[in-house]
């Protein structure tokens, strides 16, 4: 019985730590979209794309899907930008595209407004 209670205690402690860490950052959303997952340099990213209502203009949200302790903001932005470029090329179907606005929020949410030319 003592072995089981120690194992349960460890499991409960890990669950509490996981919940505490998951509440440390806010994950963005983009209504009316589905998540597509992609892996870059061992990190999982979730990508959401939605039209803005203007022809050939889209909003994109790239969220890091793996938890990182003390992330390097510059490196995270480089990775997210690489992911966003792949999806802009795919969305614009080979046409050129223009980033109207792009930036990292809360070290994990990379938001992009772009237009296919």
The residue ranges of every structural domain in the chain are 27-116
Contacts of 87 (CB under 8 A, 6+ apart): 36, 47, 49, 60, 62
Ranges of beta strands (E only) in 1-117 are 36-40, 43-51, 57-64, 97-105, 109-116
3-state secondary structure of 84: helix
CA nearest to 114, candidates 92, 32, 63: 92
The single-letter DSSP state of residue 68 is -
- Report the predicted TM-score, pTM, of the whole model to 2 decimal places: 0.71
Write out residues in the chain with pLDDT < 50, as ranges. 1, 15-26
Q: What is the pLDDT of residue 42?
A: 82
């Amino acid at each position: 019985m003592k072995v089981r209670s120690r194992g349960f205690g460890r499991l409960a402690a890990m669950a509490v730590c996981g919940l505490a860490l998951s509440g440390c950052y806010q994950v963005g959303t983009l209504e009316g979209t589905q998540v597509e997952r992609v892996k870059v340099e061992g990190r999982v990213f979730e990508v959401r794309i939605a039209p803005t209502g203007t022809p050939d203009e889209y909003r994109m949200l790239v969220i890091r899907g793996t938890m990182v302790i003390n992330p390097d903001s510059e490196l995270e932005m480089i990775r997210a930008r690489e992911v966003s470029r792949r999806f802009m090329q795919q969305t614009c179907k080979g046409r050129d595209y223009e980033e109207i606005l792009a930036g990292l929020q809360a070290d994990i949410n990379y938001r992009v407004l772009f237009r296919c030319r």
